[in-house]
């Protein structure tokens, strides 16, 4: 905006009138809108303290001093024996399902015991069966209601264990992550059970132990 210095002459008054018609003062409503816009922009740029009074409460930030403690530090040591929520194993094959180069592991990296498979079955039947079916074949009441992409049959083709572990840990397409519900060990247990299910659904009679083979032959008319 141009600034004029006027003398009190008739000519100056005329010039002032013209300047006023060209740049009338903004109506107050517009000014209010501008103030609101500034506040919103401020909030959008990360300064949330304007709108969120909780952020303005007195508190000690990390690394700040705090005279209430003998060592003068606001950050406290965790009590002895504290276990981090994401236990660091330094073994990505267990926590991520990949080796150090990022390739999916082709075998379950923890000992596969009967107890592990039992845990896997219990977790599978709670967290996976509602969608993928009790035997993993994708037959479930939920599947009939999911029209966009029904939960697939998990027995169709063999999957690399690292892949199944990642699907459970990170989620996959429409399927959510189950990492909040299942520890890494429980996820491996589910991977083991998914593998057991697949074998149970595609096994031939010749693969069964001899006594079971005999029993099955007797049962089959």
Token pair recorded at residue 61: 């930030």
Strand partners, 104: 98
Q: Site for ligand HEC (CB under 6 A): which residue of 94, 164, 189, 192?
A: 164
Residue 130 binding ligand HEC, by CB under 6 A = yes
Residue 189 binding ligand HEC, by CB under 6 A = no
- Least distance (Å) between residue 142 CB and ligand HEC: 6
Contacts of 55 by beta carbon, 8 Å cutoff, 6+ apart: 48, 49
Q: Site for ligand HEC (CB under 6 A): which residue of 96, 105, 167, 184?
A: 167
Produce one character per residue of 136-162: b if its CB has 16 or more CB atoms within 10 Å, e if not. bbbebeebeeeeeebbbbbbeeebebb
- Least distance (Å) between residue 141 CB and ligand HEC: 11
Residue 134 binding ligand HEC, by CB under 6 A = no
Q: Site for ligand HEC (CB under 6 A): which residue of 96, 112, 116, 128?
A: 128
Strand partners, 98: 104
Cα–Cα distances in Å, from 49 out to 36, 53, 57, 64, 118? 15, 6, 10, 20, 51
Residue 138 binding ligand HEC, by CB under 6 A = no
Residues that bind ligand HEC (CB under 6 A): 127-128, 130-132, 142, 146, 149, 151-152, 154, 159, 164, 167-168, 172-175, 178, 190, 194
């Amino acid at each position: 905006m141009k600034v004029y210095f006027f003398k009190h002459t008739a000519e100056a008054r005329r010039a002032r009138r013209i300047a006023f018609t060209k740049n009338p003062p903004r109506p107050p409503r517009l000014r209010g809108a501008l103030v609101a816009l500034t506040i919103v922009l401020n909030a959008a740029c990360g300064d949330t303290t304007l709108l969120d009074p909780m952020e303005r409460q007195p508190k000690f930030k990390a690394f700040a001093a705090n005279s209430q403690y003998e060592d003068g530090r606001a950050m406290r040591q965790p009590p002895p024996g504290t276990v981090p929520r994401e236990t660091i194993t330094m073994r990505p094959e267990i926590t991520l399902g990949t080796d150090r180069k990022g390739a999916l592991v082709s075998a379950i990296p923890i000992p596969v015991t009967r107890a592990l498979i039992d845990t896997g079955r219990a977790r599978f039947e709670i967290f996976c069966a509602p969608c993928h079916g009790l035997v993993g074949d994708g037959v479930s009441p939920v599947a009939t209601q999911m029209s966009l992409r029904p939960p697939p049959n998990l027995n169709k083709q063999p999957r690399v264990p690292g892949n199944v572990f990642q699907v459970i840990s990170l989620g996959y397409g429409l399927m959510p992550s189950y990492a909040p519900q299942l520890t890494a060990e429980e996820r491996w247990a589910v991977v083991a059970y998914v593998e057991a299910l697949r074998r149970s659904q595609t096994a031939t009679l010749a693969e069964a132990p001899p006594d079971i083979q005999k029993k099955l032959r007797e049962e089959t008319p």
